[in-house]
Structure 1
Amino acid sequence: MAPTAHVHHPVPRDFVWGTSTAAFQIEGAAREDGRGMSVWDTFCAAGKVANRDTGDVACDHYHRYPEDIALMRELGIGAYRFSVAWPRILPHGRGAANEPGLAFYDRLIDAVLEAGIEPWLCLYHWDLPQALADRGGWLTRDCAGWFADYASVVARRYGDRVKRWVTINEPSVFTLFGYGLGDSAPGVSGPAALRRATHHVNLAHGAAVDVVRAHVAGAAIGCVHSRQQCIGATDSEADTKAAALFGAHWNDAFPDPQLIGAYPALIAEDMEPYVAPGDMARICRPVDFFGINHYSPNYCQAAPWSPLGYGFGPMPAGTPKTPIDWPIVPDAFRAVLVEASRKYRLPIYVTENGMGGHDAPDATGAVNDPERIAYLDAYTGAMRAAMAEGADIRGYFVWSLTDNFEWGAGYASRFGIVHIDYETQKRTPKASFRWFAELIQATRR
């Protein structure tokens, strides 16, 4: 039996409760209806993901979305954040749009609306079309224009029904790992590649804001940023410097230019070679909300062996950990929310928060996940503590609705509040699903 959800601080009745997913992580149907290849298809095909897992089938959401939306309705959420797959819309990244791909999201959006749930559409959750990567991808300035053209196709098609728009999910994470450290698709590494990709992604964000604003009446637009405290693994000067540099790229290299109009001081000089006249005005466009994804602090160390000279270090002894060894520090979440609210002065939506584990059905077929319930209880409590301190937080989306393809970890990490049996695609709501439903109901009474 799930423990009772605790209401630590009251939330407004119009507070948005939701769940988040991402196209590559759940859709599958990788070769169906004209979808093109993405950099993650290529990365998986090269065997660079745990257990040689791929996104070819994933949760088969492409075919099973009605069942997943029925679960959302049962959960009682008010909003669903999903992403559109760029290679499903434009198989070659540019040029003619793919009507079957467009039609899929028509069906999805209509079904979400019919269930009484508000669709939150994210234009980009890391699945760059491989055809564009072959032309330089985020390493070429042209990619910002390609993204704006793609955003225009999506905005024109769905803007009559979708009013909540996210330009890009976690730009700092896919640039750091995909173009800096080389651990994620497309597997490029080094400081120059990271800086170049960072600037071009920022330009893409600014261009997409303008495109959506032009084509969608009444649109609310934002970017979703990963914000995690970056702390030195030791008190050494080297680790302190590493944490500051890691933090500048992880936390500030995107929201600062997008909202303040300048790169953070620590990396501003490094970014100068990539910044053309007028760029900061193109990047710093008016937005309506600030999306925050948060999981745990990053403990950082100087790492001469790393392509960037810094990387992850050990966490302090005795730090509580999730089953996949991520630190559990709810107060870091509170601090991040308060800091971001004061610094950027925008309404905040927590667009991802959750816990990875290794959940499995018991002998009765039930999936009990008390560790996830404890995590969500602590973190939603920390969010309410931030609200009590004055942070303007308007919503919370759990990551994720279902277990899914977790990037480099493949299917080994389970973040869902619904269990997926990948052999049969059977969906089983976990105890945390019931807990979250009860939490939502309690705040609406």
Structure 2
Amino acid sequence: MSEGAPETMQLAFSRADFPPGFVFGTATSAYQIEGSRFGGCGTSHWDTFAATPGNTMRGENGATACDHYHRWESDLDLVRDAGFDCYRFSTSWARVLPEGQGRPNEAGLDFYDRLVDGMRARGLKPFATLYHWDLPAPLADIGGWTNRDIAARFADYAEIVMKRIGDRVETAATINEPWCVAWLSHFMGLHAPGLRDIRAAARAMHHVLLAHGRATQAMRALGMDNLGLVTNFEYAAPADDSPEAARAARLYDGIYNRWFLGGVFNGAYPEDVLEGLGPHMPKGFEQDFATIGAPVDWLGINYYTRKLIAGDGSNRFPALKEVEGPLPKTLMDWEIFPEGLHHFITWADRNYTKGLPIYVTENGMASADRIAGGRVDDPARIDFLNRHLGEVRRAIGEGAPVKGYIAWSLLDNYEWSLGYDKRFGLVHVDFDTLQRTPKASWHALGRALVGQG
């Protein structure tokens, strides 16, 4: 950092400001960084989605991504050197099982073996996630998340992966962000498989939780513990004072936030959401709650933004729309609303998890970061970290059992349908040369966590 750098280039906390044992980490996902064309990885529905014109920015895909498959050692050095305690990564279903089932790709399992050993060798705790959206294309061909059989296939995959690495991971999560897997991808059509079908969405909303439960049971059968669920949350506020806006915001909250926690922790879906989805749900879905509610040891909260919601006047479920809000926004055009993180930590603890450990498993922002003079200054990201970590500390001060904070993300990477323009990383990646350049936020974290950087 140069002399005279603004005060916002420093983080306003150190380890001493958090409870003993609190873990700091950073996160990535397989398809976004590894490179799906390497190491015998199978085709996923993200490869085929990206190959379809109009689905992704400039038709970009994760075939090469950040080439983490070959550069993982130096990438793990970056995690260690910033002073992080843990690294949250995902395994690729398509890399491990190119057909989605059947015979594993041994090169894929070997890669995750090396990766986990590499974390341990660097003193990093491996936080594994089994699914971060790269469904093998052969399973997509037979209905993917709309097909009830997906739950059994996912449990088989969980068993295969964890028989190989489960003895060395610190924590294991099943599915990252069920709302994105189900609603964003099957009702809104913005992610693979790109459907806009309420029946498909209703079934995916249920099957994603059934798969979570089956995989949790499979990992328990291997003798594993420290198993969790990672859900994403958005703070839904009415766009105006009208009853219509209040109803719409409440329903948005139900679809996005209450559905998944209700299924896992309360054995029921919210009635206001079932008014719209009930006619399209699988027959006898209520009988699955015993499996869906397989006990977990912790909850992961992914949080980025709030949304202002209004009614759309259509009288067709869900009859809501997003309205642009007045707060400062990230490059994703997402409002920066740190108070929402405090809300969801305390709300989840009070209404669902009731004392279970909570980790903030993703939190971060996209910005238009550029290299200048060999450096990448990102003061807005440092301010974002300061404000959100302040809300974590506030929740802890009120008694919430928050055990860790994991920043998204380690690297600039493939941001799904938005291609490579939206940079979330603590480390800048030149996507022509794949050179890594730690940003000011990475250096600031190093100073806060280990007194260097």
- Tell me the TM-score normalised to structure 2 length: 0.93
Q: 2:92 & 2:197 partners in 1: Cα distance? A: 27
Q: How many residues are paired up?
A: 439
Alpha-carbon displacement from aligned partner over 1:330-364 (angstroms, at most 9, x marks no partner): 112212211112122221100000010110101x1
Query: In the alignment, which residue of structure 2 is the partner of 1:279?
Result: 288
Q: Is the CA contact (8 Å cut-off) linking 2:37 and 2:64 kept in structure 1? A: no
Q: Check 1:235–1:125 CA distance in 2 against 1; reply closer, same or farther (3 A cut).
A: same
1:231 aligns with 2:230: no
Q: 1:151 aligns with which of 158, 169, 176?
A: 158
Q: 1:92 aligns with which of 96, 99, 107?
A: 99
Which stretch of the first structure deviates more once superposed, 3-12 or 340-349? 3-12
Q: Check 1:427–1:306 CA distance in 2 against 1; reply closer, same or farther (3 A cut).
A: farther
Q: 1:235 & 1:174 partners in 2: Cα distance? A: 32
Q: Report the alpha carbon displacement of residue 416 of structure 1 after superposing the two structures with TM.
A: 0.2
Q: 1:225 & 1:388 partners in 2: Cα distance? A: 23
Query: In the alignment, which residue of structure 2 is the partner of 1:300?
Result: 309
Equivalent position amino acid for 1:17 in 2: F
> SS in structure 1 opposite 2:364?
coil
1:215 aligns with 2:225: no
Q: Is the CA contact (8 Å cut-off) linking 2:365 and 2:381 kept in structure 1? A: yes
Q: Check 1:277–1:353 CA distance in 2 against 1; reply closer, same or farther (3 A cut).
A: closer
Query: In the alignment, which residue of structure 1 is the partner of 2:56?
Result: 49
1:204 aligns with 2:211: yes
Q: 1:18 aligns with which of 21, 25, 28?
A: 25
Equivalent position amino acid for 2:344 in 1: V
Q: 1:341 aligns with which of 346, 349, 352?
A: 349
Q: 2:313 & 2:168 partners in 1: Cα distance? A: 50
Q: How well do the aligned residues superpose, as a CA RMSD in angstroms? A: 1.9
Alignment of 1:88-167 (within 5 A): 88-167=95-174
1:413 aligns with 2:419: no
Q: 1:422 & 1:374 partners in 2: Cα distance? A: 26
Query: In the alignment, which residue of structure 2 is the partner of 1:327?
Result: 335
> SS in structure 2 opposite 1:229?
strand
Q: 1:304 & 1:75 partners in 2: Cα distance? A: 50
Q: Check 1:305–1:79 CA distance in 2 against 1; reply closer, same or farther (3 A cut).
A: farther
Q: Check 1:124–1:310 CA distance in 2 against 1; reply closer, same or farther (3 A cut).
A: farther
Q: 1:196 & 1:85 partners in 2: Cα distance? A: 23
Q: Is the CA contact (8 Å cut-off) linking 2:248 and 2:319 kept in structure 1? A: yes
Equivalent position amino acid for 1:256 in 2: G
Q: Report the alpha carbon displacement of residue 161 of structure 1 after superposing the two structures with TM.
A: 1.3
Q: 1:306 & 1:409 partners in 2: Cα distance? A: 31
Q: 2:449 & 2:180 partners in 1: Cα distance? A: 30
Q: 2:176 & 2:107 partners in 1: Cα distance? A: 24
Q: Report the alpha carbon displacement of residue 308 of structure 1 after superposing the two structures with TM.
A: 5.4
Q: Report the alpha carbon displacement of residue 136 of structure 1 after superposing the two structures with TM.
A: 0.7
Equivalent position amino acid for 1:387 in 2: I
Alpha-carbon displacement from aligned partner over 1:161-192 (angstroms, at most 9, x marks no partner): 12410011000122111011111100111322
Equivalent position amino acid for 1:354 in 2: G
Equivalent position amino acid for 1:192 in 2: R
Query: In the alignment, which residue of structure 1 is the partner of 2:445?
Result: 436
> SS in structure 2 opposite 1:295?
strand
Q: Is the CA contact (8 Å cut-off) linking 1:191 and 1:308 kept in structure 2? A: no
Q: Report the alpha carbon displacement of residue 307 of structure 1 after superposing the two structures with TM.
A: 8.7
Alpha-carbon displacement from aligned partner over 1:226-277 (angstroms, at most 9, x marks no partner): 0121122233333322222221111011111111111112124534742446
Which stretch of the first structure deviates more once superposed, 6-15 or 222-231? 6-15
Q: Is the CA contact (8 Å cut-off) linking 2:38 and 2:69 kept in structure 1? A: no
Q: 1:82 aligns with which of 76, 89, 96?
A: 89
Q: Is the CA contact (8 Å cut-off) linking 1:189 and 1:307 kept in structure 2? A: no
> SS in structure 1 opposite 2:304?
coil
Q: Report the alpha carbon displacement of residue 76 of structure 1 after superposing the two structures with TM.
A: 1.0
> SS in structure 1 opposite 2:403?
strand
Q: Report the alpha carbon displacement of residue 299 of structure 1 after superposing the two structures with TM.
A: 1.9
1:248 aligns with 2:254: yes
Alpha-carbon displacement from aligned partner over 1:357-376 (angstroms, at most 9, x marks no partner): 110101x1100001111111
Q: Is the CA contact (8 Å cut-off) linking 1:80 and 1:120 kept in structure 2? A: yes
Equivalent position amino acid for 1:46 in 2: T
Q: Check 1:175–1:304 CA distance in 2 against 1; reply closer, same or farther (3 A cut).
A: farther
> SS in structure 1 opposite 2:173?
strand
Q: Check 1:442–1:6 CA distance in 2 against 1; reply closer, same or farther (3 A cut).
A: farther
- Structure 1 unaligned runs (5+)? none
Query: In the alignment, which residue of structure 1 is the partner of 2:265?
Result: 259
Q: 2:384 aligns with which of 353, 360, 375?
A: 375
Query: In the alignment, which residue of structure 2 is the partner of 1:351?
Result: 361
Equivalent position amino acid for 2:363 in 1: N
Query: In the alignment, which residue of structure 2 is the partner of 1:360?
Result: 370
Query: In the alignment, which residue of structure 1 is the partner of 2:43?
Result: 37
Q: Check 1:157–1:304 CA distance in 2 against 1; reply closer, same or farther (3 A cut).
A: farther
Equivalent position amino acid for 2:257 in 1: N
Q: Check 1:197–1:324 CA distance in 2 against 1; reply closer, same or farther (3 A cut).
A: closer
Q: Is the CA contact (8 Å cut-off) linking 2:364 and 2:384 kept in structure 1? A: yes
Q: Report the alpha carbon displacement of residue 309 of structure 1 after superposing the two structures with TM.
A: 4.1
- Structure 2 unaligned runs (5+)? none
Alignment of 1:58-69 (within 5 A): 58-69=65-76
- Tell me the TM-score normalised to structure 1 length: 0.94
Q: Is the CA contact (8 Å cut-off) linking 1:181 and 1:306 kept in structure 2? A: no
Q: Report the alpha carbon displacement of residue 392 of structure 1 after superposing the two structures with TM.
A: 1.1
> SS in structure 2 opposite 1:313?
strand
